[in-house]
Amino acid sequence: QGKRGTADIVLYDRDQVAHPAHWLMVQTELRHALERDELVLHYQPKVRLADDGISGLEALVRWQHPSRGLLSPAEFLPAAEQSGLIEPLTAWVLRRALDDQAGWTALGQQWPVAVNVSARNLEAPGFPRVVAALVAEHGTPSGRLLLEVTETALAGDAATAADAVVELTALGIGVSVDDFGIGFTSLSQLRSVPVAEVKIDRSFVTDLDTDAPNQAIVRSVIALAHGLGLRVTAEGVETPAVSAWLAEAGCDDAQGYLFARPTAWPHLLDLYLNPRGS
């Protein structure tokens, strides 16, 4: 288990121990980045396997660093999470995502937007209120904002996290269990927390057309999730063979480079409103 997903986490932890000075610098710079609006959001569509329609866009944060270029979240999120900057960062992402959504809605696209939130956000007592205020400010209809939360965020000492999910759900905000399958504590958690969707981790998806153990796992996740009334999304779909296997297995949605890489949202509008050959 844990080909890529878990390996990443180990790597960040090692970095933090090895380079505390570098890490402090990232925190200081990130604080400035938030003030100077240097972060950007790219969006990746979530595609319905049944008809290839878009069922939503996931916001993925990047940092347009003045000297180091476009940085991926792996290069600054760990520092943000450890320092408490994740709270203003998530608030920034939510606001920008809802602003961008107003843009595509005005152009006639009703796409829901999904925002990734950290365990630390979910455990902060005021978090549902912060989200409620942003949603009220934007007039976001029920079901149009989803929050993606990792399985481990729900699985730990999860009383606050579970309460937050209940509150968010009551506000019409769906909660999605991200990186599903690598935590192993999932079944009982899914029963007690009102989540709307599970996203199967990429480590199970990459070789799905040929890897028998992953096929068995994914089939049972789909059956479990559907039995609980949840939608299932597979992430990291890169080949037509994997997409076809997932459609056959009854998976609802898929995301991955096969359909589109994360990009600024107007490009997605081009891609889907002016498809090649029309």
Q: Please spell the DSSP secondary structure of 113-175, one letter per residue.
A: EEEE--HHHHHSTTHHHHHHHHHHHHTPPTTSEEEEEEHHHHHSS-HHHHHHHHHHHHTT-EE
Q: Could you say which of Ca ion, ligand C2E, none residue 205 binds, taking C-beta under 5 to 8 angstroms by partner kind?
A: none
Binding residues for ligand C2E, total number by CB under 6 A: 24
| Residue 235 in the binding site for ligand C2E (CB under 6 A) | yes
Q: Considering beta carbons, is residue 44 or 152 the nearer one to ligand C2E?
A: 44
* Helices 86-106 & 20-36 angle (0-180, nearest 10): 40
Taking the complex as a whole, the smallest distance from the CB of residue 168 to ligand C2E amounts, in Å, to 15
Which residues make Cβ contacts (< 8 Å) with residue 23, sequence separation at least 6?
15, 16, 79, 82
Nearest by Cα to 79 from 130, 120, 115, 38? 120
Our CB check for ligand C2E shows the closer of 100 and 148 to be 148
Q: Which of 72, 142, 185, 220 binds ligand C2E (CB under 6 A)?
A: 72
Residues 144-203 touching ligand C2E, rule: CB under 6 A, are 148, 178-179
| Residue listed under structure tokens 């579970």 | 162
93 binds ligand C2E (CB under 6 A): yes
Q: Which residue is nearest to ligand C2E (CB)?
A: 256
Nearer to ligand C2E, 183 or 236 (CB): 236
Structure tokens at 254: 């898929």
116, 121, 152, 206: which one binds Ca ion (CB under 5 A): 116
For Ca ion, the closer of residues 140 and 150 by Cβ is 150
- For the residues of 79-126, what is the DSSP string, one character each? HHHHHTTHHHHHHHHHHHHHHHHHHHHHTT----EEEE--HHHHHSTT
253: contact with Ca ion by CB under 5 A? no
Among 178, 197, 252, 253, binds Ca ion (CB under 5 A): 178
Report in angstroms how near the CB of residue 154 gets to Ca ion at its nearest: 14
Does 29 sit near ligand C2E (CB under 6 A)?
A: no
